[in-house]
Amino acid sequence: MAERHMPPPLRFLLAARRSELLGLEALAGTCELVVRVSALVHALQKERGYSNLTLCTPQERLQQTLAGLSEEAVHVESDARRFLDGLAADTTQSSGKARLLNAIAFALFRLDELPGLRRQIREQSVPVEGADARFTQVIGSLLAVVFEAADSALDPGVTRILVALLNFMQGKELSGQERACGVMGFTAGFFTDAQKSRMLGLAANQGRSFDMYAQYADEAVLQCWENIQQQSKPVQRMRDMAQRTTPEQRVDAALAELWFDVYTARVDAMREVESLLAQALAQQCERRIAETRQELDDRRLLLSRYTNHASGRAPSMVFSVQSRIVDTPAADGVGSELERSILDMMREQTLRMQRTDEALHTMRGALEEKKRIDRAKLLLISQYGLTEQAAHERLQRTAMDGGLSLSDVASQVISQLGGN
């Protein structure tokens, strides 16, 4: 029976389920966007690494490798742009995603700067610090897209994976920045006090990002990360070496390439974790869409039978899911089994939505806390000229002294320095 002939309460019950299905299908598109952004970030991180090394130690073989990585990054970017063009053209999927779309616009603006930067790197007309900072800006704008995608997700299972992926990507990006800082210091033969402080801060911030990732990742992905961590001892030894250097106690500049190679192996291994998270993301979306479609089909059939029976158009023998004839009065006198199953369906759908909202609130709490702490740190950096590490340490000290959470202290800083 056509749905238009159903009573209004039943039509709206099905409409609610269809709306959920449409939301999940739109979310699948958002997740695909995240996967493509993740691939682009990785390609740009590789290109940035070799750009830094080439600017520090110009060699023909390094320039050839960089040219290949630049070409690869351009290819990945083109693929991402084609996907974004389709996203922009599909206005039906953009409802409620203004912040995400705005982040995409800013990322595209930053990406438009890359051709000029690549030309300057080839010509050796840009300092390594400047090239590194500009690549980092581009990558930061892409990470902001992932953040907004996680914030706009409406399924708690998908949001959980997105939160894990976002934090892991940020930890990996901080690793890339540490690699660049190490190349500069080892090339000079020693690390300045500012560079030493930055190296320590980057390592500490990586730890925080990876700890947050570990809270939301599943066991299989965590095991992959544990294996990578166990192979990171060479990186730690060279970190320690960097901290012991002085203008009087220099090291061989050739160590820059060794540091780069050791650290690149670590960063490349991290890509496997990102790939596993991307697979989990796609599988979760597919599973939820399949479940919702099946539930919608089952309920459409059940409600259609109920409507036919209530209107007298059904055959004289209509059976419930318990194989009892619907025409036969229920033994308890309450009403037909099928009629009660409709009410149960409505109650179950309402309770499931409530559980979903509660789970989403928990997942988004982690995103909101991160957003709050990052904003507080930016305000401290702007107001007092602190480094990112010093700003984080100030928040931590204040929290410990006052017996407050880091999030509560961040809220106080925002209220004092940034208005609402």
**What are 344-398's pLDDT values in tens digits?**
666 666 666 666 666 656 666 777 777 788 888 888 888 888 777 678 778 878 8
- Domain span at residue 363 reads 315-417
pLDDT of residue 7 exceeding 70: no
Give the residue among 361, 360, 356, 363 at the shortest CA–CA distance from 164: 363
The verdict on 369 and 268 lying in the same domain is no
DSSP 97-142: -HHHHHHHHHHHHHHTTHHHHHHHHHTT-S-HHHHHHHHHHHHHHH
Indicate the pTM of the whole model.
0.76
Question: Using CA of residue 335, residue 340, residue 342, residue 346, what is the dihedral sign?
Answer: positive
Please tell me the predicted confidence (pLDDT) of residue 90. Answer: 66
Please tell me the predicted confidence (pLDDT) of residue 413. Answer: 86
pLDDT of residue 294 exceeding 70: yes
Helix (H, G, I), strand (E, B) or coil at 147: helix
pLDDT of residue 1 exceeding 70: no
The verdict on 203 and 321 lying in the same domain is no
The verdict on 243 and 139 lying in the same domain is yes
Last residue of a domain, one of 289, 307, 335: 289
Last residue of a domain, one of 254, 289, 324: 289
Please tell me the predicted confidence (pLDDT) of residue 241. Answer: 95
Please tell me the predicted confidence (pLDDT) of residue 355. Answer: 65
> What is the average pLDDT across 248-258?
93
Helix (H, G, I), strand (E, B) or coil at 248: coil
The verdict on 27 and 165 lying in the same domain is yes
Residue at 160 is within a domain = yes
Asked whether 120 and 126 are in contact (CB, 8 A), the reply is yes
Q: What are phi and psi of 34, to 5 degrees?
A: -60, -40
> What is the average pLDDT across 80-109?
80
The amino acid present at 50, given as its one-letter code, is: Y
Each residue of 72-89: pLDDT tens digit?
A: 999 999 999 998 888 776
**Beta strand residue intervals within 169-224, DSSP E:** none
142 pLDDT band (50/70/90 cuts)?
Answer: very high
Tell me the CATH number at 328: 1.10.10.10
- 319 pairs with which residues across the strands? 325
pLDDT of residue 9 exceeding 50: yes
pLDDT of residue 327 exceeding 50: no
> What is the average pLDDT across 250-267?
93
For residue 181, with 0-12 CB atoms within 10 Å meaning exposed, 13-18 middle and 19 or more buried, which class applies?
Answer: buried
Q: How many helices and strands (H and E) does the chain possess?
A: 13, 0
Each residue of 204-243: pLDDT tens digit?
A: 888 888 998 998 888 889 999 999 988 888 999 999 999 9
The verdict on 103 and 235 lying in the same domain is yes
Would you give the distance in Å from CA 274 to the centre of its chain?
A: 10
> What is the average pLDDT across 328-337?
43
262 pLDDT band (50/70/90 cuts)?
Answer: very high
The verdict on 341 and 278 lying in the same domain is no
CA–CA distance, 7 with 14 (Å, rounded to integer):
11
Residue at 68 is within a domain = yes
Residue at 120 is within a domain = yes
Please tell me the predicted confidence (pLDDT) of residue 315. Answer: 45
Q: Look at the chain and report how many structural domains it folds into.
A: 2
Better pLDDT: 290 or 392? 290
**Beta strand residue intervals within 192-255, DSSP E:** none
Average pLDDT over the chain reads 81
The verdict on 147 and 16 lying in the same domain is yes
Helix (H, G, I), strand (E, B) or coil at 420: coil
The verdict on 143 and 267 lying in the same domain is yes
Residue at 130 is within a domain = yes
The verdict on 342 and 275 lying in the same domain is no
Name the DSSP letter for residue 284. Answer: H
Residue at 309 is within a domain = no
The verdict on 114 and 18 lying in the same domain is yes
User: pLDDT above 70 covers what percent of the chain?
Assistant: 80
How long, in residues, is the chain? 420
Q: Residue 306 corresponds to which tokens in the numbers above?
A: 């109920």
The verdict on 278 and 333 lying in the same domain is no
The verdict on 109 and 31 lying in the same domain is yes
CA–CA distance, 173 with 370 (Å, rounded to integer):
16
Q: Residue 364 corresponds to which tokens in the numbers above?
A: 């988004």
What proportions of the chain, in percent to the nearest 5, are helix, strand and coil? 80, 0, 15
